C-alpha cells in the first residue's frame, strides 16, 4: 500500500525499498525472503536486514534476486508503470513496468491472503507492441503450466497470464523480453 501510494506522486526510481528482517518490526508478521525481495524490487532495491542473522540459503537467494534485479533495474526505475490490480481493491496486487524502448516488461504479482480459496485472477498485461514476440522468463514463482515460452504482445495483453498464487503473503514475478 505504501509503495502504491508513493508511486502516484513519484517515480519508482527514487523510492528506496528495503528487504528487512522477518518477522517484521512493524507487526511481527513472518514473510518469505522471496516476498520481501520481490516487493522491494519495485523501486530502488536496498537490503536493510541484519546480515549477521542470515543463513547460507538466505545469501544464495539474495544473490539470485540481486542478479535478477540488475537485469530489470532500468525498466523498474525509469519505465512506464501500470497498476494492473490495486492493493486498495482487494487481496491481490499486480504491477507491470515496461521499458522506455518497449523491449522489456516486468510484472510483479502479490497475494495478501486467499480468504475464499479462489484462483488468482488472470493478468492482462499492457503497453506491449501487439505484433512483437516476447519471451517469458520467471524471476520467482510459477506461471500456469500451459503458458507459452514466447508469444505476441497481443497474446500477453488479451489472453493474459495465469499465475499460481495461493495462501497468505505469496508473490511471484516474471519478465518479458522482446525477441
Q: Domains (ranges, CATH) in the chain? A: 2-77 (no CATH), 79-178 (2.60.40.1180)
Q: What is the dihedral of CA 82, 87, 92, 94, to 10 degrees?
A: 10
- Using a 10 angstrom Cβ sphere, with 0-12 exposed, 13-18 middle and 19 or more buried, the burial of residue 155 is middle
In the chain, what percentage of residues exceed pLDDT 70?
Answer: 97
Is the distance from CB of 170 to CB of 149 less than 8 angstroms?
no
Highest mean pLDDT among 30-44, 94-108, 117-131, 159-173 belongs to: 94-108
pLDDT tens-digit series, residues 45-85: 999 999 999 999 999 999 999 999 999 999 999 999 999 98
Mean pLDDT of the chain: 91
Nearest to 109 by CA among 150, 68, 81, 141: 141
Long-range CB pairs of 141-147 (<8 Å, 24+ gap) are 141/34, 141/109, 141/165, 141/170, 141/171, 141/172, 141/173, 141/174, 142/172, 143/172, 143/174
Q: What is the mean pLDDT of residues 3-26?
A: 79
pLDDT at 31: 87
pLDDT at 29: 81
At residue 127, does pLDDT exceed 70? yes
pLDDT at 65: 97
Distance CA 47, CA 21 (A): 9
Q: What is the dihedral of CA 87, 166, 70, 83, to 10 degrees?
A: -30
Q: Which pTM value belongs to this model?
A: 0.91
Q: Which comes out higher in pLDDT, residue 147 or 114?
A: 147
pLDDT at 13: 83
pLDDT at 58: 93
Amino acid at each position: 500500500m505504501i509503495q502504491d501510494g508513493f508511486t502516484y506522486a513519484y517515480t519508482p526510481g527514487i523510492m528506496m525499498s528495503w528487504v528487512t528482517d522477518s518477522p517484521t518490526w512493524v507487526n511481527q508478521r513472518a514473510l518469505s525472503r522471496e516476498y520481501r525481495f520481490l516487493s522491494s524490487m519495485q523501486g530502488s532495491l536496498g537490503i536493510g536486514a541484519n546480515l549477521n542473522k542470515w543463513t547460507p540459503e538466505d545469501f544464495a537467494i539474495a544473490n539470485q534476486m540481486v542478479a535478477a534485479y540488475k537485469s530489470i533495474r532500468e525498466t523498474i526505475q525509469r519505465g512506464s508503470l501500470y497498476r494492473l490490480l490495486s492493493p486498495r481493491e482487494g487481496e491481490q496486487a499486480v504491477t507491470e513496468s515496461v521499458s522506455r524502448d518497449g523491449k522489456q516488461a516486468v510484472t510483479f504479482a502479490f497475494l495478501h491472503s486467499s480468504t475464499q480459496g479462489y484462483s488468482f485472477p488472470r493478468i492482462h498485461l499492457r503497453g506491449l507492441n501487439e505484433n512483437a514476440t516476447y519471451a517469458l522468463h520467471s524471476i520467482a514463482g510459477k506461471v500456469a503450466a500451459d503458458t507459452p515460452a514466447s508469444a505476441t504482445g497481443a497474446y500477453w495483453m488479451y489472453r493474459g497470464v495465469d499465475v499460481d498464487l495461493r495462501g497468505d503473503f505469496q508473490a511471484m514475478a516474471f519478465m518479458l523480453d522482446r525477441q
